[in-house]
Amino acid sequence: MGIVTLPTSHRRPLAGAYIVGQRPAEERIEIAIVLRRRQPLGGAGHTRFAHREEFIAAHGADPADVALVEQFARRQNLAVTEKDAARRTIGLSGTVESFGRAFGVRLAHYESPQGSYRGRVGSLQVPEYLAGAIVAVLGLDNRPQAKPHFQFRRSRESPGAASGAAAGYTPAQVAELYNFPAGDGAGQCIGLVELGGGYRPGDLKTYFHRLGLAEPTVVSVDVDGAGNRPGGPDGADGEVMLDIEVAGAVAPRAKIAVYFAPNTDKGFFDAVTHAVHDAANRPAVISISWGGAECDWTAQAMEALHQAIEDAAALGVTVCVAAGDNGSSDGVGDGRNHVDFPASSPYALACGGTRLETAGNRITRESAWCDDPDQSATGGGVSDQFGLPDYQQTAGVPASANGDGRIGRGVPDVAGNADPDTGYQVRVDNQCTVIGGTSAVAPLWAALIARLNQNLGTRLGFVNPALYGLAAGGGALCDILSGGNGGYHCGPGWDACTGLGRPDGGKLLEALKGAD
């Protein structure tokens, strides 16, 4: 039985990390093996399944591949804890020693500026008979995989922003300024992916009461042992509350399902796949406000999560993803331009950020959000991982600002108010505050999708081709012409700061009706 390398599994240490010692041999851990589809999807943008059972039968895990993993597990003294054909996931449990022997790695205890973690370096080894069936092996390394894309308003005044913008807008005010169509999201479910933090029901009750809105139904879905844990050391409550309050204020009668998972590559994948394949809550749109630069992911983890978002497209679920808050560098600090993943997945609706200025009830100026091109600016650029999708072929995506001539997936697709100085009034941990970031744009667009679905009487699902197919100058997407994010600048048409622009919801609804 030959042993081969999984080349997409290569790991490097986190920046500034160092080994403290080896993990105890008898320490028990759990991992996930992600398997290939039984049959390739062949382009989720053109394939849509009305029934999940049909999707699973055609594109779930192949029972033969499951049997191979079970055989491997028995030989390596590993226990099978989960078999999920829809998510194409096999869960395995065992000791550090057993996993190290099974995959040819050493698991060490690392300390880093981001905290301690169980880590590995190099690539994984697997039996040759199993290699072709595996998309990814996730969870051996449990370093923090992503960061939330939200920022609190800075203390300085916000020049040029009249009519209360310096104190922030309510989500409903932004929806009104963007002419969202009538509707309250009734009959829709919005899924929110969270990799930390939590919400306090009392805060939600107070917040929506003060807005004069009915409190939306919010349910917590625990994944991999995580759950709703407000007040924790990760400081992510602001992300969770921002997501719920923006989505809930714009679509107050939509059900909001919050999927809590650990902030690891396994946790991220498991949260998204549980949301996509949740037969109980059945979200029609999912909002993700977490991510990280493509260079900080293993190729296998990116591919597994990309395929999960492609599954969503095939099942008629829209996935809105924040494009990042650290400009065109995405906060990497190596002098190059990077885009954020999973926003860079071609099946995600990547959401960039603007600065919104108003007088009275009208918009006076809107530009790309950029207070600091490295620390406080909309993400965006050209993917190093994914090629140019069909729907962007005529969008004018430029060559990468890295100077290598690459023309890949352009990020973002759309935009909305994100500057924390013109941000959103929210309530977090018993305090009222103002928060911005592209984290706010993803749930804003998710709530807009819920309203559009409600009006159309169907699910928009993978909406990117429809948005790029809208007639230029029709006003459904309002072009942002000024500002930049470091490596890229706004201009007529699509750009790598604000994509196609911010929505005019009413005109967007009419355009989508006309496209049927």
- Residues annotated catalytic, as ranges: 239, 243, 439
DSSP conformation letters of 311-336: HHHHTT-EEEEE--SBGGGTT--SSS
Cα of first residue to Cα of last residue in the chain, in angstroms, is 54
Alpha helices in 211-346 (DSSP H): 237-250, 265-276, 299-314
**Rounded to the nearest 10 degrees, how much is the dihedral formed by the CA atoms of 51, 347, 456, 499?**
180
- Dihedral pair phi/psi, residue 308, rounded to 5°: -65, -40
3-state SS class at 294: helix
Residue 220 near residue 250, CB atoms below 8 Å? no
Rg (Cα) of the chain, in Å, rounded?
22
The secondary structure element, H or E, covering residue 128 is: helix 128-131
Residue 419 φ then ψ, to 5°: -55, 125
Closest listed residue to residue 218, CA positions, set 251, 198, 248: 248
Q: Are 267 and 195 in contact (CB under 8 A)?
A: yes
Q: At what angle do helices 299-314 and 265-276 cross, to 10 degrees?
A: 10
Q: Burial-class residue 159 by CB neighbours within 10 Å (0-12, 13-18, 19+).
A: exposed
* Residues forming beta bridges with residue 366, ordered by sequence position: 356
DSSP line for 184-208: --TT-EEEEEESS----HHHHHHHH
Tokens representing 180 are 């969202």
What secondary structure letter does DSSP report for 61? B
Cβ count within 10 A of residue 27 = 14
Taking the C-alpha atoms of residue 360 and residue 347, their distance in angstroms, rounded to an integer, is: 37
Dihedral sign (CA 117, 344, 301, 235): positive
